[in-house]
Structure 1
Amino acid sequence: MTDVFFRSATDVAALMRAGRLSARELAEMALDRIEAINPAVNAVVETCRSAALDAGAAADRAVARGEPVGPLHGVPMTIKEAFPVAGMRSTWGSPLFAGHVADRDAEVVRRLRQAGTVLLGTTNVPPMLADVAQTANELYGRTLNPWDPTRTPGGSTGGGAASVAAGLAYLEYGSDLAGSIRIPAAFCGVYGLKPSAGTVPLSGFQPPGPPLGASDMAHLSAVGPLARSAGDLRMALRATGGPEEPDAVAYTWRLAPPRHTWLADFRVGVVLDHDGAAVTGEVGRALSDAVDDLARAGATIVAGWPDGVDPIGQAESFGFEVAQFFAFHGGDTTFATLPQVVEQHDRRMAARAAWRRYFAEVDVFLCPATFTTAFPHPGIPYGERVHHELAFWMAFASLAGLPAVSAPIGRTSGGLPIGAQIIGPPHEDDTPITFAELATEVLGGFTAPPVAG
């Protein structure tokens, strides 16, 4: 039965809609699998067995009655512990909130339930989500990489990436400010999407406490799915994207179609290395081989940075924007003067304009997801250099609010996953998703890790 746990979410939803697979039985098997496999990775920190089995049974009854069902009907999934789920703990990995139990669902959780998913439990995070390199905290301990337990799964959605990779869930929903979806996806060999800014509502996604007021910093932070196939990212995004009330009264949202449906039709911008975060030899070779394979498949390769994109300058601007983000959310408000804020705003808008001009001619931009593969767990927090170099490759999509897919493209000689980042035009998320999906024909895709059994 192991094979069923590595089917795509789209496939198992279709089987359940057709009455060929029981949602309750699958939920029970998935929960049993978590009990058996999770101790080897410590990805899932809390389960809701009774609620999950009840949801699965309700899904089966809906099919039996011929009722309309959602696109992810009966699909077992996990979700990052930072998302409030009614009746479950949401501590953000901090002892300060150890006893906090959410009294309502975040908007994303509500939409995922509406789409038919069966929530199995929540996944581990670093304290206050403040680490892209590792996932460990005093409450739940350390999450291990399913490819090598001596190595990190990344952060801050490290628990979610490990859960999906190990076959504990078909989908995960995470968050990405400075690469917290894309880095763990690359380290664990799965797919992860940071959607275009503003596509998926952030309502309810906050530390425990009084509801936060609205903030225009939403251009920087995004929430999005992780999965074992690019197609599942598309399905999850369709289920969760779009405005909330009262904006939904005025306008609706739909996922724009991809620019192309054949790999050979894509124009692919490519940058494989930079001194600001130089890639390791094995990562560089894998990226170079991937580009060669794409070219042989007929894709047009456009080498070099876009005109008007200063990589170091945009990385520095991204660092400023992250500091400003935290200032808007209770952090240090004295880190910059008003003239500096205005200057950085202008630089961000210039970056957005440069990328928009570039995507008028090029369809996707391929670059490293991370400069290295997953590295060994530390005894102390990682140094600034590692954090800086991980954030460097995340900066460009985040600064300009662009959609970006982290996709597995191969493994090192030692068996560790290597990921590429595929950045797309603003509000055309299905273009990088479809490119990643088509690229599996020549690059391969997800492979189950050793811990999967």
Structure 2
Amino acid sequence: MDLTHLSAGEQLDALERGEVSSRELVTAHLERIARHPEYNAVVTVDTEGALAAAAAADGRRAGGRAGGPLLGLPVTVKDSLETEGLRTTCGAVELAEHIPGRDADAVARLRTAGAVILGKTNTPTMCQAIETGNPLFGTTPNPHDPQRSAGGSSGGPAAAVAAHLSPLDLGSDLAGSLRLPGHYCGVHSLRTSYGIVPTRGHIPRPPGWLSTSDMLTLGPLARSAADLDLALGVLAGPSPDDGVAWRLELPAPRHERLDAYRVGIWADDPYCRVDTETRALLEEVAKSLRERGARVDDSTRPVHLGDSDRLFQSLMFAGSSAGASSEAFATEEAAAGQLAADDRSPRAAYLRARTMRHRDWLLANEERRRLRRQWAAYFTDIDILVTPAAPTAAVPDQTGVPVPERYITVDGERRGYWDQTTWLNLAAPVHLPAATVPLGHTCDGLPLGVQLIGPHLADRTVTHVAGLLARHL
């Protein structure tokens, strides 16, 4: 039996039964990483630290001492999350030698739970791309087809899990950074409800900052929905500053059985058309749900996809300006001031959002609050919404192509490069939990999945339905 092909839960069960040691598990994964450099997913390996942590975990088990829920489990961590004593670069040349003196809060929770950190997984420079490549470590290809994109910015984490280099990875998601790679690489991913997993220690912002984007969340990638839920139980909770008085108790799944769920299906939309195979998968999901007794609503829409997407982009660009240098921001302000009033180009929208006045941000934030209310109303009658994860399965890798020249093809039609994340952008501005679930393959053998979006703080409903769909479909 190849230990690296066991899920995180299966590895923990084997540890608990005494069938395998943490050292054996860690060694198996370290050897697999070394044997398969072509995946280029784990870019910093902590062999010495991982083996020492594994030995300590084995000692605790042998001595009958209490350990956390992940005791002895090998895991990896996206290179955007700071790790004490272990290089954290976020793919940026200027951070090539950055060795943090403190773990990111979420990484600390993994260690407290007993996880053994094997190393760091690749990400585009400062997480600012939806493919994974950077000048320090090069490109991470899709494990199913090296000519295809692994997605980004958590492409290294998704590829590591898909290639059995790690059973579990901790990544981050703003514009689909967990879910697009999960979809492209055929693994499960969970964008947690905003605010339930502390984000301090995530780059960007620059090292040492205490704040980050007001739409960024951290979450796991794994090979099963059960493993997502396992990681959720470890990661979710108030920040260390708030933990003095606050507690978090996520509600149980809304129902126990699939036939009790009320499921919304949003299979396609004129604003961002999906390809034939994706649409067929959504139709098959709706058919299977009906056959199993679930109540399916494929006509009601929570929001307007285009309006939601434009608001998301505006808030995202505005928030990202905090990390710009004073000189770079001054240049953007000057360029925005020279725009013609009737300029509606993507560049103009970007510059206006990046340099918006605080009053304009407050107005956009009010629009976001109203959008959240629309979603809440929708989820009074619907338990979970199923949408496409992206217009297609994994697209050809374009990390070597200048960004303005990149594009995707949907059923033979040339489309905008950023259309890859339009469906994923639904959840971010309104702070909702969302997962991607692999449910099939294209005729070319590429993974194909769907996105699940749940009510705010209904993360366990999302992981539960993800598991039910994976089991039944």
Match status 1:364 vs 2:384: yes
Deviation at 1:251?
1.2
Deviation at 1:337?
3.3
Q: What residue number does 1:135 align with?
A: 132
Task: Map 1:273-284 onto structure 2 (within 5 A).
Answer: 273-284=268-279
8 Å contact kept, 1:263–1:298: yes
Deviation at 1:87?
1.9
Deviation at 1:213?
4.1
Q: What residue number does 2:299 align with?
A: 304
Deviation at 1:40?
2.1
Residue from 73, 80, 83 that aligns with 1:82 = 80
Q: What residue number does 1:181 align with?
A: 178
Tell me: CA distance 1:137–1:306, structure 2 relative to 1, closer, same or farther (3 Å).
Answer: same
What is the CA–CA distance in structure 1 between the aligned matches of 2:244 and 2:225, rounded to whole Å? Answer: 31
Q: What residue number does 1:410 align with?
A: 440
Task: Map 1:85-104 onto structure 2 (within 5 A).
Answer: 85-104=83-102
Q: What residue number does 1:114 align with?
A: 112
8 Å contact kept, 1:277–1:390: no
1:170-204 Cα deviation digits (max 9, x unpaired):
10000001000000000000000000000100011
Secondary structure of 1:211's counterpart equals: coil
Match status 1:327 vs 2:321: yes
Residue from 310, 314, 337 that aligns with 1:316 = 310
Return 5+ residue gaps in structure 1 as ranges. Answer: 444-453
8 Å contact kept, 1:196–1:403: yes
What is the CA–CA distance in structure 1 between the aligned matches of 2:418 and 2:257, rounded to whole Å? Answer: 36
Tell me: CA distance 1:214–1:207, structure 2 relative to 1, closer, same or farther (3 Å).
Answer: closer
Deviation at 1:322?
0.4
Secondary structure of 1:183's counterpart equals: helix
What is the CA–CA distance in structure 1 between the aligned matches of 2:226 and 2:417, rounded to whole Å? Answer: 30
Match status 1:393 vs 2:423: yes
Which stretch has the larger CA shift, 432-441 or 95-104?
95-104
Residue from 150, 155, 162 that aligns with 1:153 = 150
Q: What residue number does 2:19 align with?
A: 20
Deviation at 1:211?
1.9
Match status 1:5 vs 2:14: no
Deviation at 1:96?
1.6
Tell me: CA distance 1:99–1:210, structure 2 relative to 1, closer, same or farther (3 Å).
Answer: closer
Q: What residue number does 1:336 align with?
A: 356
1:94-142 Cα deviation digits (max 9, x unpaired):
112112122221111110011111111111111110011x101111011
8 Å contact kept, 2:4–2:28: no
Deviation at 1:362?
0.6
8 Å contact kept, 2:126–2:203: no
Tell me: CA distance 1:67–1:92, structure 2 relative to 1, closer, same or farther (3 Å).
Answer: same
What is the CA–CA distance in structure 2 between the aligned matches of 1:391 and 1:440, rounded to whole Å? Answer: 22
Amino acid at match of 1:140: F
Q: What residue number does 2:122 align with?
A: 124
Secondary structure of 1:313's counterpart equals: helix
Amino acid at match of 1:380: V
What is the CA–CA distance in structure 2 between the aligned matches of 1:375 and 1:325, rounded to whole Å? Answer: 28
Deviation at 1:143?
0.4
What is the CA–CA distance in structure 2 between the aligned matches of 1:90 and 1:304, rounded to whole Å? Answer: 46
What is the CA–CA distance in structure 1 between the aligned matches of 2:396 and 2:418, rounded to whole Å? Answer: 17
Tell me: CA distance 1:201–1:387, structure 2 relative to 1, closer, same or farther (3 Å).
Answer: farther
Tell me: CA distance 1:29–1:213, structure 2 relative to 1, closer, same or farther (3 Å).
Answer: closer
Deviation at 1:327?
2.4
8 Å contact kept, 2:201–2:207: no
Deviation at 1:381?
3.8
Q: Give identity over the alignment, percent.
A: 38
What is the CA–CA distance in structure 2 between the aligned matches of 1:6 and 1:210, rounded to whole Å? Answer: 35
Deviation at 1:387?
3.9
Amino acid at match of 1:57: A
Residue from 237, 241, 252 that aligns with 1:242 = 237
Task: Map 1:419-430 onto structure 2 (within 5 A).
Answer: 419-430=449-460
Task: Map 1:23-62 onto structure 2 (within 5 A).
Answer: 23-37=22-36, 39-62=37-60
Secondary structure of 1:45's counterpart equals: strand
Which stretch has the larger CA shift, 314-323 or 287-296?
287-296
Deviation at 1:328?
3.4
Secondary structure of 2:141's counterpart equals: coil
What is the CA–CA distance in structure 2 between the aligned matches of 1:381 and 1:237, rounded to whole Å? Answer: 37
What is the CA–CA distance in structure 2 between the aligned matches of 1:245 and 1:83, rounded to whole Å? Answer: 17
What is the CA–CA distance in structure 2 between the aligned matches of 1:236 and 1:254, rounded to whole Å? Answer: 15
1:196-226 Cα deviation digits (max 9, x unpaired):
00010001112485522446x43x1101000
Q: What residue number does 1:448 align with?
A: none
Tell me: CA distance 1:49–1:314, structure 2 relative to 1, closer, same or farther (3 Å).
Answer: same
Amino acid at match of 2:469: A
Amino acid at match of 1:131: A
Deviation at 1:244?
2.2
8 Å contact kept, 1:143–1:153: yes
Return 5+ residue gaps in structure 2 as ranges. Answer: 334-354, 408-414
Tell me: CA distance 1:399–1:210, structure 2 relative to 1, closer, same or farther (3 Å).
Answer: closer
Which stretch has the larger CA shift, 337-346 or 267-276?
337-346
What is the CA–CA distance in structure 1 between the aligned matches of 2:457 and 2:379, rounded to whole Å? Answer: 12
Q: How many residues align?
A: 437
How high is the TM-score relative to the length of structure 1? 0.93
Deviation at 1:17?
2.2
Secondary structure of 1:264's counterpart equals: helix
How high is the TM-score relative to the length of structure 2? 0.89
Q: What residue number does 2:165 align with?
A: 168
Secondary structure of 1:327's counterpart equals: helix
